[in-house]
A and B are shown apart, each in its own frame.
Chain A
């Protein structure tokens, strides 16, 4: 790997754009380096996540994990200070080595071209056109000045790494998603505490991805590795803990402040209308890494470990969700307090406990804190293109806490699901930070 070919012409960033990723990535006329390639592809991936119908949050987290590992393994092969994740994450065998001189940017471009095309193979014609256009245009810039032999060897190597990762991915249980993740048939429980559909959309009369918790995990041993105690016992007694937690949701909506509404909206991260909750954390990572002008090795390890923990978080969370199969606040409140009550946010079509955003946000905060630092303040501009102003945070954990409580403000979770979700996320994150990315 000829690391000397890398050009770090990154001093000309334009304003933060789509999902927080800068639009102008390298100096005009300069050849893009590996980090430029990485960021450009991730910018597209954040759009594809938003615009591919199967990309609900769990599915998105999976893609971020495999893409992160792909990018990391490419970078690690050219950096003696980095240690491959093969043999550390579940099921990943040692990756193929280059047999000739290669260029890191070209290898990464080839790997991302293949991996993105595979993971987003079901995206629509506009996404297909975008992938082809980026592959073509960025590929031409990456090839600028490279000898034919090096370019060809780089493309072979990038393709081989992606193929290795994708073969690993295809066996994890989450590769095929049908009907946008909703089972064609579903038998609802008649128990009063169990989840029932809350949507007037036919497809959502079954819960999203009920088997997702059985998928192969990455850094944690299995989906049950960060299990949770049961939620408060179901009761319609006004003195019960369950009722009181529901009453809290009811009362918060009745007295919702503009700030609480803004928090709920900011972390809403709806599929098809945003990069989803895992994409939101990928966006945060890019914003902070760019601001700090982080070196390539750190960018690669953050993307890999963050992607891994986000994916593990959704597996753990979904495992617990379908273990307890708890009803949503809207169902309970209509039953016991107000038959016409509606949540501020759209209630997601799957069981309530624990809160997925809480789990994955806490896991992300653990990883980013470990890899970037404690009490790293930042401003999150992920949703500026959607008209939402940036929000400042004192630390990654502070952001995760706000992401969690946003679900209470939005009326879609009880407090227990948020607090326990955050606990679960911290557990998940610890498995990821135990991975060894440095020699």
Chain B
């Protein structure tokens, strides 16, 4: 029995700390429980596995606890069922799930067939595979049943959306270089694919031309137009004439790249990961783009004006907000960093989204840090960030790749799992004492797109509104579904509003802090309790 009691406001209500806006951020405490929790997985392999190394977090047995799948590279992936208890130390159990396939670089959870059971996308060096969730954490290959052409490429990026009117998701798959090229692989970026829905499955994939060696993709409604665009982060190491990309994806139309006339400005980086949240508080998503020696925090350059189209122009504010994280902050190896997965989550529940970045050398590149600590940058009330990875205990110098901040023990504090290349993955429990209030929520709607991908969730507390776009994709080879988390600072309650895919906004609804809720259209939030 995992749940020692129903999850409700009593879990940590007494522990809400001060977290005043003027205070320096509370340094969180993470405890390495990898071994004790039973996690033993390594992302292994040669050159074809220099990128990738993902982890998917999801609930596949409807017990509310977040399970996970860790990519193994050349070795089989490992599925871990969460067998821990609420508020307790982390505990996982490796189980046969049907997902234990080799050559997996990345993995993303999404309920493709809208049956209420999470399915899993396996990005591979070779054929990609969609795995239908059968319940009780069992999965079965569904490529043939769903008409999904897995191709034969080096896939490392993924994103999903439901286009307006579609009853089947649109999946974007990002592909890397032509792995058969040895002496002259540069310029051999292979086509990315767009798998759109057809009757009861997928149509043949459409090539997203041009493609520039994508390592992260994200469907995101960057301008709150109601129609998400596809953001693609590309690795300049291999493309010729390439750049970062933003694609229009209008229902029933071919994808079209944004142009300079629309404000899009070329950006050429070693793009490896995308994280998004509204850092600036303007209601629009901001984007963290990981790279080498330099990372970007992009925010809309032009303040939104009533009735005017928003130019697709972004300003890099990473330097101004001290979020560059360009080189190690501990140790003696101060060569430039190599950044991969990034994710915003409020790890200390002070009401400000923090930023985790997984770091790690590509493969014995001496011009870059060989001992490259992961970053945990805490957001200050003024919107700047302060590095706390070492003090928080997550400054691992293993060659990290994918990661996930997820509340595995449902105590209201996001825990952390990191996949490392050539070394064991690591799992930390967030054991912070004295953090602020929090709310956990998940979206659930009838019909298709059960998980509400594309919705915007606003949480109003302490005079601020925190906005999260519910997405499937991004990061580096790593995806999440299920519970979403928001910190509230000193507040014991907050108001929440969901703007559902399609644009229908719900009412603001007061919720007590310290509980998990299921949010559905036209219904009051339901406090979630164990089955």
Contact = CB atoms under 8 A, between A and B. Distances in A.
Interface string B288-308: 000011100000000000000
Contacts of B292: 53
B294 A203 contact: yes
Contacts of A272: 236, 268
Interface in B317-335: 318-320, 324, 326-327, 334-335
A122 interface: yes
A184 interface: yes
Contacts, number: 94
Contacts of A180: 293, 336, 367
A200 B319 contact: yes
Contact of A122 (B186, B238, B320, B366): B366
A385 B367 contact: no
Contacts of B368: 53
Interface stretch (B34-42, B177-185, B428-436, B476-484): B177-185
Interface stretch (A29-37, A123-131, A403-411, A425-433): A123-131
B186 A50 contact: yes
B183 A44 contact: yes
B324 A201 contact: yes
B311 interface: no
Interface string B29-70: 000000000000000000100100000000000000000000
B241 interface: yes
Interface in A381-427: 385-388
A385 B210 CA distance: 13
A125 B334 contact: no
A140 to B, nearest CB: 12
A178 interface: yes
Contacts of A52: 367
B362 A125 contact: yes
B365 A133 contact: no
Contacts of B320: 200
A357 interface: no
B182 A129 contact: yes
Contacts of B324: 201-202
Contacts of B319: 200-202
Given A122-B366, A273-B236, A133 B294 contact: no
Contacts of B236: 272-273
A273 B187 CA distance: 11
A50 to B, nearest CB: 7
A388 B237 CA distance: 18
A126 B294 contact: no
A18 B184 CA distance: 9
Contact of B183 (A123, A134, A178, A203): A134
Contacts of B293: 53, 180, 201, 203
Interface in A194-228: 200-203
Given A126-B47, A202-B294, A273-B268, A51 B366 contact: no
A189 interface: no
B504 interface: no
Interface residues of B, number: 34
B309 interface: no
A184 B334 contact: yes
Contacts of A18: 184, 186-187
Interface string B225-243: 0000000000011101100
Interface in B349-368: 362-368
A425 to B, nearest CB: 28
Nearest to B237: A51
Interface string A92-135: 00000000000000000000000000000111111001100110
A125 B185 contact: no
A396 B449 CA distance: 62
Contact of B184 (A130, A200, A388): A130
A28 interface: no
A408 B365 CA distance: 36
B365 A122 contact: yes
A120 to B, nearest CB: 11
B241 A386 contact: yes
Nearest to A273: B268
A268 B420 CA distance: 38
A255 interface: no
A124 B362 contact: yes
B316 interface: yes
Contacts of B367: 52-54, 122, 177, 180
A137 B236 CA distance: 27
A47 interface: yes
B184 A201 contact: no
Given A180-B293, A201-B294, A203-B336, A126 B237 contact: yes
Contacts of A125: 47, 50, 362-365
A303 B336 CA distance: 33
A134 B364 CA distance: 20
Nearest to A126: B185
A253 interface: no
B366 A130 contact: no
Interface in A157-208: 177-180, 184, 200-203
Interface string B174-206: 000000001111110000000000000000000
A247 to B, nearest CB: 25
A43 interface: yes
B421 to A, nearest CB: 11
Contacts of B326: 201-203
Nearest to A131: B183
Contacts of A123: 365
B50 A179 contact: no
Contact of B241 (A129, A270, A385): A385
Nearest to A200: B319
Nearest to A124: B365
A137 B183 contact: yes
Nearest to B50: A125
A252 to B, nearest CB: 19
Contacts of B268: 270, 272-273
Interface string A283-325: 0000000000000000000000000000000000000000000
Contact of B182 (A47, A133, A388): A133
Interface string A14-25: 000010000000
A203 B365 contact: no
A124 B326 CA distance: 18
B402 to A, nearest CB: 19
B183 A200 contact: no
A179 B334 contact: yes
B341 to A, nearest CB: 19
A431 B7 CA distance: 81
A115 B268 CA distance: 30
Contacts of A121: 366
Contact of A133 (B183, B237, B363, B364): B183
Contacts of A50: 186
Interface string A365-379: 000000000000000
Contacts of B365: 53, 122-125
Contacts of A54: 367
A166 B326 CA distance: 32
A173 to B, nearest CB: 19
Contacts of B182: 129-130, 133, 137
A44 B320 CA distance: 39
Q: Which 10 pairs, one residue from A and one from B, show the smallest C-beta to C-beta distance?
A: A133-B182, A387-B241, A386-B241, A125-B363, A200-B319, A133-B183, A385-B240, A134-B183, A53-B367, A202-B326
Given A47-B184, A179-B336, A201-B294, 7 more contacts: A51-B237, A124-B237, A124-B365, A179-B335, A180-B367, A184-B334, A385-B187
19 contacts: A18-B186, A47-B184, A51-B186, A53-B293, A53-B367, A53-B368, A121-B366, A122-B365, A125-B365, A126-B186, A129-B47, A130-B184, A178-B335, A180-B293, A180-B336, A200-B318, A201-B319, A386-B240, A387-B241
Interface of A: 18, 43-44, 47, 50-54, 121-126, 129-130, 133-134, 137, 177-180, 184, 200-203, 270, 272-273, 385-388
